[in-house]
Chains A and B, each alone.
Chain A
Amino acid sequence: MINPPASFRWLRRVVLLVLAVFTLTPVAVMLSSSLKPLRDVQGPWRWIPSELTFRPYVDIWKTVPLAKYFTNSLIVAGSATALSVLIALLAGYAVSRYRFRGKKVFTITVLSTQMFPGILFLLPLFLIFVNIGNSTGIALYGSRSGLILTYLTFSLPFSIWMLAGYLDSIPRDLDEAAAVDGCGPIRTLVQIIVPAALPGIIAVAVYAFMTAWGEVLFASVMTNDQTRTLAVGLQGYATQTDVYWNQVMAASLVVSLPVVAGFLLLQRYLVAGLTAGAVK
């Protein structure tokens, strides 16, 4: 904007302040409550804790097997991310650089799966996994590999679409120069395209990891005591009689840290990826 008058600047300040309060309040609640003793979170809300304590951060690991859930989430989200980036990179490269029969059908099919409700896949996948387990003994239901497979559902279509878009923005001269130097298509992909597309790849990886880390529906149906992820495990802080809100908040903070830190570090890539991939 050029030459905004003072009234506009004031309006801007007020609106942005209100939005910041709206956005940050839950984060503040999370942080402050995680430092309160139990009696403070079980009575009426208080802004100032009666005493500052780090107890909840110690207790969260004992009340529920948080470390196990953490490991499960890391394995599941990490594997789903790696797989989804790899598969999407190959597919995106094909869509961006080659003309072939069925390309349009492929892209439209991939895109339209984005719109399908997760609940539509939940019931059949549940039954298919149970049936595979019964007939072959391969335990997909309740296992981490089943969940990893499922999480591809969410990240793959978007990843393919975004990477194809990002690769389109990389000049074709690079490919041609590599071809002149005698690079085959796979070497071109690995040595030329991947480094040039790194921001897009990072953006897709961040997206895939976040979706898998935060997913609740499949995690709540498809896991058992051993394979439970954080998304479901966090509910364990509510006992029959009480909810240990201070521990819930401490645990929420701890499990958010890796994703939030990763996101804030890599957000400029995400914005760059969105600009090139989705916003054209």
Chain B
Amino acid sequence: MIDRPTAGQEAAPQGAAPARRRLREKFGRGALPYLLLLPALLAELLIHLVPMVTGIVMAFKQLTQFFIRDWSAAPWSGFDNFEVALEFNAPVGKALLHSFWVTCAFTVLSVGLSWLIGVTASIFTQDAFRGRGLLRAAFMLPYALPVFAAVITWSFMFQRDTGLINHVLHDQLHLTSDKPFWLIGDNSFWALLTVSVWKSWPFAFLTLTAGLQNIPRELYEAAALDGAGVWQQIRRITLPSLRPVNLVLVLVLFLWTFNDFNTPFVLFGKSAPQAADLISIHIYQSSFITWNFGQGSAMSVLLLLFLLLVTAVYLFATNRRRGEAE
């Protein structure tokens, strides 16, 4: 996916005139592509590269609230910030490690469930039936709603005394002996997971629905003629055809979920409960509440290294599998 070959790049020149034109394109207008790229390059430099380099430099500084006006004056601290972050027996490192595991568990569950629901829903709405358009629109609503508006509604539903969830669980279904707290304590993990899945599965649905449209109907017809049942059609035709879409989708969902800040922030506020202390919130809190920016930057760099590693391994593994399949 990353290395998308440009169409026509491989196409053999047909006749002399187009070949000459191509030559001219290649040499005569050599500067044009760079001019077209210039705004994008400048923007990327300004908002990605410079802050990233700054962030990495900050991680090696003793950057506390006294140096916010001029961060370059902050004294160097070598690898101190990293050592503190990785000292898993001391409070800071222990909390970071805890937050890391919580984020891992949360991400695996959220991505897994979102993908599963997305696949199911897209397959079940593949054939036309009455009301399908309306249902599809409804399924996309969580994706369309602004995060803060949707999550704040969930937080209302999760309120202990006034919320819909406890009313249904306790008052109507009598499933719980008491009204549990959902936004503090251990339950907060499940509340966060519910909201996250609700919010992300529609993206999986959208992408997979788009992917399903590329499968020619003749494939199913041929399979049905050969006596394949519905489940076999799904297993033999639908799922294999979705593989390239799935590879990208899972990676994107993973990165979004692992880095998610908006959901816990709107649901819990500036400091999340222990059980739902996602890494983004944790770093935010370490930086803006204790005002230790150097420490926060070191944690961000560690997070980035981890994400790079996972992505590299993932891309390598999936590329190799694709290579084997061919």
- A107, B34: Cα distance in complex, Å: 13
**B307 x A110 contact (CB < 8 A):** no
B157 touches A29 (CB 8 A): yes
Q: Does A224 contact B (CB under 8 A)?
A: no
Q: Is the CB of A109 within 8 A of B44?
A: yes
Segment 120-163 of B: residues with Cβ below 8 Å from A: 120-121, 123-127, 135, 137-150, 152-154, 156-157, 161-163
A130 lies within 8 A of B69 (CB): yes
**Is A221 positioned at the interface, with any CB of B under 8 Å from its CB?**
yes
- Interface segment among B3-11, B75-83, B183-191: the answer is B3-11
Within 8 A of B (CB), among A67-95: 83, 86-88, 90-91, 93-95
Return B31 CB to nearest CB of chain A, in Å: 9
Question: Which stretch (B35-43, B93-101, B316-324) binds chain A?
Answer: B35-43
B223 touches A2 (CB 8 A): yes
Are the C-beta atoms of A91 and B39 separated by less than 8 Å?
yes
Q: Does B175 contact A (CB under 8 A)?
A: no
Assuming the contacts A121-B52, A127-B71, asked whether A156 and B44 have C-beta atoms less than 8 A apart, the reply is yes
B163 & A45 in contact (Cβ 8 Å cutoff): yes
**Is B248 an interface residue when CB atoms closer than 8 A count as contact?**
yes
CB < 8 Å A-B pair total: 316
Does A145 touch B at the CB level, under 8 Å? no
Query: A160 contacts which chain B residues (CB < 8 A)?
Result: 40
For A217, list chain B residues within 8 Å (CB).
Answer: 261-262, 265, 280, 284
Chain B positions within 8 Å of A179 at CB level: 21
Taking a contact as CB atoms under 8 Å apart, the answer to whether B149 and A5 are in contact is: no
* Segment among B84-92, B104-112, B296-304 that sits at the interface with chain A: B296-304
Choose from A8, A260, A271 the contact partner of B230 (Cβ within 8 Å). Answer: A8
Secondary structure class of chain B's binding surface, majority of residues: helix
Among B226-246, those with CB < 8 Å from A are 229-230, 233-234, 244-245
CB under 8 Å from chain A, chain B span 16-70: 18, 21, 25-26, 29-30, 32-34, 36-37, 39-41, 43-44, 46-48, 50-52, 54-55, 58, 68-70
Q: Which has the most chain B C-beta neighbours within 10 Å: A42, A127, A234?
A: A127
User: Distance in Å from the Cβ of B218 to the closest Cβ of chain A?
Assistant: 10
**8 Å CB contact of B262 from A5, A8, A215, A245:** A215
Measured in the bound complex, the distance between the Cα atoms of B136 and A19 in whole Å is: 11
CB distance from B289 to the nearest CB of A (A): 12
Measured CB to CB, the closest approach of chain B to A2, in angstroms, equals: 4
Partner of B162, one of A234, A245, A275: A245
Contact flags A99-139 to B (C-beta < 8 A → 1, else 0): 11001101111111111111111111101101100100000
Q: Which residue of B lies closest to A156 (CB)?
A: B43
Minimum CB–CB distance for A162 against chain B, Å = 11
Give 10 nearest A-B pairs by CB, closest first. A2-B224, A91-B40, A45-B167, A252-B149, A263-B144, A94-B36, A124-B54, A124-B51, A98-B33, A214-B146
Given A112-B311, A249-B153, A279-B211, 19 new contacts (CB under 8 A): A1-B127, A1-B234, A15-B121, A41-B162, A83-B43, A96-B6, A117-B300, A118-B261, A120-B304, A127-B293, A131-B70, A149-B47, A214-B147, A230-B146, A245-B156, A252-B150, A256-B144, A275-B213, A278-B210
Q: Which residues of B contact A (CB under 8 A)?
A: 1-4, 6-9, 18, 21, 25-26, 29-30, 32-34, 36-37, 39-41, 43-44, 46-48, 50-52, 54-55, 58, 68-71, 117, 120-121, 123-127, 135, 137-150, 152-154, 156-157, 161-164, 166-167, 171, 198, 202, 206-207, 209-211, 213-214, 220-221, 223-224, 229-230, 233-234, 244-245, 248, 252, 255, 258-259, 261-262, 265-266, 279-280, 283-284, 287-288, 293, 296-297, 300-301, 303-304, 307-308, 311
